[in-house]
Structure 1
Amino acid sequence: MGFSDILEEIGGFGRFQLIHVILLSIPGLLMASQNLLNNFTAGIPEHHCYIPNGTSRAMDQNFSVLDVGSREILRAYIPIEGGSKLSKCTRFTEAQWHLVMANMSVISTHVNNNFTDAETETCHDGWTYDRTEFQATIVTEWDLVCKLRPLKQMSQTIYMGGVLAGAIIFGGLSDKFGRRAMLIWSYFQLATLGSCTAFSTTYLAYCILRFLTGMAVSGVILNSVSLKVEWIPTKNRTLVGTLSSFFFTFGQGVLAGVAYSLRDWRKLQVAVCAPYFFVFLYSWWFSESARWLVLNRRSEEALRHIHRVARINGKPEVVEKITLEVLESKMHKEIQSSKSIYSMYDLLRTPVMRKISICLMVVWFSTSFAYYGLAMDLQKFGVSIYLIQVIFGAVDIPAKLATMVSLSYLGRRITQSACLILSAALIFANIFVPSDMQTLRTTLAVLGKGLTSASFTCVYLFTGELYPTVIRQTGMGLSSTMARVGSMAAPAVLILDEVLPTLPSIVYGGSAVVAGIFAFFLPETLNVPLPETIEDVEEKWGRQKSTSQNTKEAVALQDMKEGMEGEAGKTTGLNAL
């Protein structure tokens, strides 16, 4: 059992573990704010071309009772598109006052809509924005509309690129320098650069700072998961992993509330990043993973942390019992294995590790791909963006509670597969719902998003349990990398709706189905102690296959033996005759 025995001796899930998990989970309240922040800081308000001196021109035409913001006056300057909506990107080169008179008289409105001969131009003087829902966003700051609209989505892609880079960089650094050191640094980087983003004066500076903030977010997530898992006894991992994910769920509601109160993107940016300075200060209390310390030949330091945990858990008598010799004897096998140098290649070198890595890469990619495909375009639902954000967060609660029960009784593999396949079913079902049934479409999308969120809860726990300690962070980094690739690809798929409106849903749903199938090939980890080395992984989950093969070979040899004995018997009988 190795380190699992030591954990039980020093109190199992005691006072230290409770405080440890809570302090590591609190930042999750704002993790949702980082990943979903673009919905609010880059919200696109209603807009139309700016009309210079529109009011004075209206007065010159004896329309003094109207102001430039009224729809009647705008009708003289802004063409109608789609039957009733004002154009967002063009205006008439000359005011069409007869259209205003037509609107104000009993003349049929089809006169207005059929007027297409007037010459139009782009918005040379900028845009006028509706400040009702958003006071200021990066869209209004740098006019990211019309031809520049792709830059709005590009900012989110760049942020996710930072998260991707962070997964690669911090995954390797954590296995080399420790989980605690990298976590503390990630908190500081997130607090500092995230807050500085609010003072960006150019779009380029904003994107660079968001990229670096995304890197820090990866560092926080990866190291928080590992520090939790590596100090928690086997039997408590499911409960802790699921309850910890609720902080992220509640964080979606926190984001909606803060964004509703602070509708200026600069204030919102500071509000969701500055609190990490406080987290940075208390993070020095954390204990480094004793597993990692032992495997990196720092057993004396690991022993100090173990004794500290024992005292906090009210087990001072254990301090005398657990000596350096006891610790090293219990983890002798792991220490011998740790003398090897591991790289990302080791995730694919052996058969069981290769199967685990490939399956997890597919699961992580598809979970993130479907999740952000549903969660990053809230304005399409036609209701208040703040309300839909709260609804998205609320539906995660029952989904994760059901996941917790399933993880405890049905296991990780079945739960992971079910979450992905059921979410795909809901995404596919939405294809057949008529566009005018907006409530039903929104309901199915919300439920689908809840299941993908539950899939995230499962895969974080599952991955931490499947990879051995010596290379856990590298494995988490690889898996998280695939998730970030999925989150970067998700917005690009939305472009396919110009080819076929249902195509994005087909792609999202199809990806989830494939991942659900791959999840069935992963080993089950319910109530299984954490593997410490690659050899542990091969022995634990390669043994069943080997035993099965050996049994088949033994049966074949026995049959061959019996056949040879039968033939020998026949030969002996014939000779006797």
Structure 2
Amino acid sequence: MLKYGTDKSSQADSEIFSFFSETPPNFVDEPDVTSKIIGDFGKWQLRISILMAVLKLPIAWYQLNIIFMAPPQDFWCKKPTAFGKYTEKEWRKMCCPRVEEYPCLIFEPDLLLLDPSMDKTMIPLVPCPKFIYDKRVFKRTITSDWNLVCDRHWLVHLCQGVMMWGIVLGGIIFGIWADKRGRQFPLMVGIVIQAVTSYIASVIPWYWLFLCNWFILALASGGIGVISFVISMEVVSGKWRTIVPVIYQLPFGLGSAVMAILAYYFRDWRKLEFALATLSSLYIFYWLWVPESPRWLLATGQTEKAAATLKDIARQNGDDWSLRDIRQIIRDHDVMREPDPGFMSFLRSKNMRVKTFLLSMNWFCTGLAFYAFAQYLGSIGRNIFMAVSVTGIISTLGGLTCIVVITRYGRKTTVAVYVLVTSICFVLILITPRGKYSNDWPRLLFAGIGFGGIAGTIPALYLFSGELFPTLGRNVGVSGVTTFARIASMVAPVIVSLDGYLSDLPLMILAFITFAQLLLLIPLPETKGAPLPDTLEQAEHF
């Protein structure tokens, strides 16, 4: 066990760890067998780190492609044959009540045909029998394929809700499986399921069957996210546990930019899904490139397999170890680890209960801002492709700046700064008029900076959360509070659906929530430069 007042190198090893990861890293400072044999970072670690980071591309595609599957799309009621002498513009003008934003209800066509100029207050409204969709930008969407408009519009948000639920459950199921069966096999199963279900999604003709398939895809995506992050943490040691987990997250923003480029080229959600499935299928080669985690092999007592794996890795890193020497090092570091306390133990302690509650609410606000704003991007500017690609690139830069800011300023201060930037950008988007500037570039710029603010908030909040929980219980503590971000991801589709009442209502809610998050930070203590607590008693007095 660490002593209270751990040295700076140990503290640095637990600095900036993942953003948007489902499982926190192991903070317990145990004797590191693998680093003695294969080093903290070498050619093999570099290759595996890159392979795991590249997995964030499909994770971004499937978490965010609802933006291009169901983008904002104009539609109107199909003109009956009897109105053939009228132009499409004249028909659309006469058939709909002016108070309706969309033509879900139209005037009774038979009565309207008798005298189009008559007082329409005397004509009853009836449901539109068939819709026509504007295909100037998108040739096909799930909205147009399955008529997900008017009283069926909620089914669009159900798709994203199912995706988020699947990611949560997939993280749990695959996480447990990976702890019992190893990292490699569950990871490959997730990759195969993800590719196959993506292919199926591109051709499936029925909405409800699509939704079931979509849920299975989400399970696989959630599992890949958990396992790839764990592997990225397990292959490195020392200061690289600060750097690699942050770099691991950066392709997420690039993934959304790649998706926007593909969507711009295809303009058809089925072709886009097929293209993403094809790219995702390339990850099957990981079976040849990613071995079982030597740390997991050691943790489960498979010392012979671990020794053979470590010998091969050391060879790739340019070191020549004999199996005999490796076995001896493993025996010398065979230590017992005390079990972590349960999450409920933090709720029974007065001080930790307050900090746990405040951290949980901070994670909920951050998760809601990310997932809801990601879905809202389609309505930010006139060019949805530019909006998504620009925000993806800027969010990558936001994650990079966090590394610099958080090492110079306090953790609490860094979180507050990025949250404030996000809040201000939400307000600026609200007060900037639509359509006044070319491509709505000011709104697009504010959206990109706001997304960058969220991208900077998350790694800083991860570090801040980890340093407030004690070493014995840090894993379960961080896992517990970050669960609220995943709960927020399920609430996000509901927030976005409020645009049916007022177009900017979702953004108004997000602006209020992010400003409120600043108040939730005030009671929390700053952790920069403070010794990490080891026990619950030490954390209680921090």
Contact 1:48–1:78, Cα closer than 8 Å, also in 2: no
**Pairing partner for 2:327 from 321, 324, 327:** 324
Counterparts in 2 of 1:154 and 1:419: CA distance versus 1, 3 Å: same
What's the CA shift for 1:368? 1.4
State the one-letter code of the partner of 1:327: I
Residue equivalent to 1:39: 67
Contact 2:533–2:539, Cα closer than 8 Å, also in 1: no
SS of 2:84's equivalent? helix
TM-score, normalised with respect to structure 2: 0.80
Whole-angstrom CA distance in 2 between matches of 1:351 and 1:13? 41
SS of 1:297's equivalent? coil
Residue equivalent to 1:122: 127
Residue equivalent to 1:446: 448
Contact 2:148–2:155, Cα closer than 8 Å, also in 1: yes
Deviations, residues 83-108 of structure 1 (Å, cap 9, x unaligned): xx7735424423757998xxxxxxxx
Residue equivalent to 1:232: 236
Deviations, residues 236-266 of structure 1 (Å, cap 9, x unaligned): 2333233322211111110101111222222
Contact 1:75–1:99, Cα closer than 8 Å, also in 2: no
1:309 aligns with 2:313: yes
The range that moved more, 142-151 or 415-424, is: 415-424
What's the CA shift for 1:4? 3.9
What's the CA shift for 1:369? 0.6
1:75 aligns with 2:93: yes
Residue equivalent to 1:48: 76
Contact 1:171–1:476, Cα closer than 8 Å, also in 2: no
**Pairing partner for 1:14 from 9, 29, 42:** 42
What's the CA shift for 1:226? 1.0
Contact 1:8–1:233, Cα closer than 8 Å, also in 2: no
1:167 aligns with 2:185: no
Contact 1:347–1:357, Cα closer than 8 Å, also in 2: yes
Residue equivalent to 1:94: 110
Residue equivalent to 1:288: 292
SS of 2:126's equivalent? strand
1:508 aligns with 2:513: yes
State the one-letter code of the partner of 2:84: A
Counterparts in 2 of 1:456 and 1:91: CA distance versus 1, 3 Å: farther
What's the CA shift for 1:129? 0.8
Deviations, residues 61-88 of structure 1 (Å, cap 9, x unaligned): xx6xx5xxx3134334444446xx7735
What's the CA shift for 1:479? 5.4
Contact 1:355–1:522, Cα closer than 8 Å, also in 2: no
State the one-letter code of the partner of 1:93: P
State the one-letter code of the partner of 1:508: I
Query: Structure 2: which 5+ runs fail to align?
Result: 1-28
What's the CA shift for 1:160? 0.9
Residue equivalent to 1:23: 51
Counterparts in 2 of 1:435 and 1:390: CA distance versus 1, 3 Å: closer
Larger Rg: 1
Counterparts in 2 of 1:470 and 1:227: CA distance versus 1, 3 Å: farther
Whole-angstrom CA distance in 2 between matches of 1:275 and 1:162? 21
State the one-letter code of the partner of 1:451: G
Q: How does 1:318-397 map to 2 (within 5 A)?
A: 318-319=321-322, 322-330=325-333, 332-333=334-335, 336-337=336-337, 361-397=360-396
TM-score, normalised with respect to structure 1: 0.76
Counterparts in 2 of 1:278 and 1:229: CA distance versus 1, 3 Å: same
The range that moved more, 402-411 or 12-21, is: 402-411
Counterparts in 2 of 1:176 and 1:416: CA distance versus 1, 3 Å: farther
Residue equivalent to 1:108: none
What's the CA shift for 1:46? 0.9
Contact 2:105–2:125, Cα closer than 8 Å, also in 1: no
Deviations, residues 342-377 of structure 1 (Å, cap 9, x unaligned): 877688799999888666544432221111121102
Query: Structure 1: which 5+ runs fail to align?
Result: 101-110, 529-536, 549-577
The range that moved more, 239-248 or 492-501, is: 492-501
SS of 1:539's equivalent? coil
Q: How does 1:131-210 map to 2 (within 5 A)?
A: 131-210=135-214
Deviations, residues 199-250 of structure 1 (Å, cap 9, x unaligned): 3222111111111111111111111111111111221233323332221111
1:262 aligns with 2:278: no
RMSD: 3.9
The range that moved more, 158-167 or 487-496, is: 487-496
Counterparts in 2 of 1:207 and 1:385: CA distance versus 1, 3 Å: same
SS of 1:121's equivalent? strand
State the one-letter code of the partner of 2:379: K
Residue equivalent to 1:58: 84
Counterparts in 2 of 1:508 and 1:354: CA distance versus 1, 3 Å: closer
Whole-angstrom CA distance in 2 between matches of 1:302 and 1:356? 39
Whole-angstrom CA distance in 2 between matches of 1:470 and 1:287? 30
SS of 1:90's equivalent? strand
State the one-letter code of the partner of 2:227: N
State the one-letter code of the partner of 2:453: L
SS of 1:128's equivalent? strand
| Relative contact order higher in (CA < 8 Å, ≥ 6 apart) | 2
- Tell me which protein shows more helix as a share of its residues: 1
